[in-house]
Amino acid sequence: MNPAPARALTEPSTTLQLLDSWSATGRPLGLTEHLRHHGPVPRPGRALIEVVEEAGLTGRGGAGFPTGRKLRAVAEGRRRAVVVANGMESEPLSRKDQTLLAVAPHLVLDGAVLAAEAVGADRIHLCVPRSRTAQLPALTAAVDERRDVGVDPVVVRLEALPHGYVTSESTALVHWLNGGPARPTTTPPRTYEKGVRGRPTLVQNVETLAHLALIARHGADWFRQAGTTASPGTTLVTVAGAVHRPGVLEIEPGTPVGAILQQAGGPAQPLQAILLGGFAGTWLSVPRALGLPFSREGLAPHAAPGAGVVITLPQDACPLAETARILAYLAANGARQCGPCLFGLPAVADDFTALADGHATPDLLDRLHHRIGLLPGRGACRHPDGAARLAASALTAFEADVDHHLRHGHCRRPTTLPVPPATRTEHWT
């Protein structure tokens, strides 16, 4: 099933880089129009790495790793490199990558080709979920259009992968491209050392690659005109929940969370909390969240931007029930390869469900705190860490609700967030 359609929201006051052509025309551009709007693709080769380092571009997939450093590590490998453009976007309420691929596919492909030339790669794999059936033909057409006119010196392959919460993890993509299931694998070796077919592999989020395409055209100083010193440029943010115009915004890092909500039309009803960073993120009270600058340094130590998701929770919803639903989804969608996913996360999800349903035993809260503390740092990937962060933040942000549920049982308030069903991912290949 395809996810709900995404909308790119643009405002006259917003600094637009990635969504500039969409704002100007209201439609995706074909290759000829794209090159007319943005200019021809430059050919800086390996020199692009230094420009990207000067620009301060960081990964937009969630980890925020310096892109230039990753490019340099792959370029210094001993074998011919491979580039993987990651458009999987497994965060359930995120729509930024899907939207970008829909409205500016050639900007992403420009960036992938430029990255390939910078690291000496001869192949690009553009990875997207096979469930995105409406988008696959358009992406296929974009790749074919570029091949037919010979604009790219590197082979681009569109790869349709199974869609699960952990299938977007870099080692899961490499594992699938090597013929295995789309599950994370242990590291080392890192993908930049030994990835697709044992070759140095650059796995980069599609938004990051689109930024790279613009940096190659306009330079590091241009990129740094937006954002902050530590988080330059612009970034895409998905705003979901109780706002008038949910969708995807392009903002400057450092924009206050409250201003982001206003760009999405403002709250549609009174709010009680905001979840920053998506399902692996952090719950914060509204007063605490609204003034925080939305950047990695601005949100620390309270939260992190993650994949750029801001979820608003209305006052009349039960925050514990919402958290229990998310944790149940996360427990069902782990790779189930190691103890934290097999046993720890399901146990935390069950405890949280019992708390939300008013079935708590006297020792539940102590047991829940203990189990949450056992999850981080013990899995083959970071999936359990994110779930632990979400659960711990809920117990802190909703302390009064926890007390009410322990004393009086279920509060009978509704759930409102569009959390997917907690069904297990069965198809990994």
The chain-wide mean pLDDT, for the chain, equals: 92
pLDDT in tens, 221-257: 999 999 999 999 999 999 999 999 999 999 999 999 9
Whether the CB-CB separation of 128 and 100 falls below 8 Å is answered with: no
Rounded Cα distance between 323 and 335, Å, is 20
For residues 265 and 243, is the Cβ–Cβ distance under 8 A?
Answer: yes
Q: Give the C-alpha separation, 56 to 65, whole Å.
A: 10
H or E, element range at 80: none
Instruction: Phi first, then psi: give them for residue 205, nearest 5 degrees.
Output: -60, 145
Instruction: Please report the domains of the chain, with CATH numbers, ordered by start residue.
Output: 13-223 (3.40.50.11540), 235-314 (3.10.20.600), 319-408 (1.20.1440.230)
State residue 296 phi and psi, 5-degree precision.
-60, -45
Give residue-wise pLDDT tens across range 290-299.
999 999 999 9
- Across the range 126-146, mean pLDDT stands at 96
Summarised one tens digit per residue, pLDDT across range 384-408 is: 899 999 999 999 999 999 999 999 9
- For 40-56, write each residue's pLDDT tens digit: 999 999 999 999 999 99
Tell me if 303 sits within 8 A of 394, measured CB to CB. Answer: no
Range 88-112 average pLDDT? 96
Nearest Cα residue to 114 out of 173, 55, 46, 54: 46
Q: What is the pLDDT at residue 188?
A: 81
The candidate with the shortest Cα–Cα distance to 89, out of 303, 261, 306, is 306
Min mean pLDDT across 33-42, 99-108, 374-383 is at 374-383
Question: How much is the pLDDT for 7?
Answer: 57
pTM, full prediction: 0.94
Cβ 259 vs Cβ 295: under 8 Å: no
Please report which confidence band the pLDDT of residue 2 belongs to, taking 50, 70 and 90 as the band edges. Answer: very low
Q: What is the mean pLDDT of residues 280-286?
A: 96
Q: Point out which residues pair with 231 in neighbouring strands.
A: none
